[in-house]
Amino acid sequence: MEKMKCELCEGVARMFCESDQASLCWDCDGNVHGANFLVAKHARCLLCSACQSPTPWKASGLRLCPTVSICESCLARKNNYGAGSNSYGEDDGAESYDEDEEDEESDDEEEEEAENQVVPCDAAAAVQESPVLVVLC
């Protein structure tokens, strides 16, 4: 399957800007959305690094840091592949979860998702570049 291309440079698209209706790579996104504070407010949807489907991750800011994002279907496919499922339907001795454990796990996942954020590069750079006052006695 051919990768979705950046609207400006034909590189691999990494995000989609709904306001501009454009798929962009990291560099072109920085050029477009770094132009002024108004376009920096555009929310961009990160594309899955594997299949380039839209992910739930949204970001805005002057320049976004290159980020790996995976859509839910690719994550599920990876988990199913890595789980060593038995195609013959035989019990391989693995313990089964009861419903209470599944509810606790889904609550934990929801809390983790609420804590995860995509931070623009400029915000991280601003923290690192802030002057430090050193007083010598």
List the one residue out of 120, 106, 8 whose CA is nearest residue 58.
120
Please check whether residue 71 lies inside any domain of the structure: yes
List the one residue out of 54, 53, 72, 59 whose CA is nearest residue 116.
59
Place 59 in a pLDDT band, splitting at 50, 70 and 90: confident
Place 45 in a pLDDT band, splitting at 50, 70 and 90: very high
pLDDT for position 13: 94
Please check whether residue 5 lies inside any domain of the structure: yes
Please check whether residue 132 lies inside any domain of the structure: no
Q: What is the extent of the structural domain holding 45? A: 1-79
Please check whether residue 128 lies inside any domain of the structure: no
The model's pLDDT over 86-96, given as tens digits with 9 standing for 90+, comes to: 443 334 443 43
Please check whether residue 89 lies inside any domain of the structure: no
pLDDT for position 120: 58
Please check whether residue 12 lies inside any domain of the structure: yes
Between 56 and 87, where is the model more confident?
56
Most confident of 27-36, 79-88, 103-112: 27-36
pTM confidence score? 0.56
Please check whether residue 131 lies inside any domain of the structure: no
63: left (phi over 0), alpha (psi -120 to 50) or beta: beta
Mean of all residue pLDDT scores within the chain: 72
Distance CA 93, CA 111 (A): 31
Please give the average per-residue pLDDT across 59-74, as a whole number: 88
Distance CA 33, CA 2 (A): 26
Does the pLDDT value for residue 97 go beyond 50?
no
Q: How many domains does the chain have?
A: 1
Place 103 in a pLDDT band, splitting at 50, 70 and 90: low
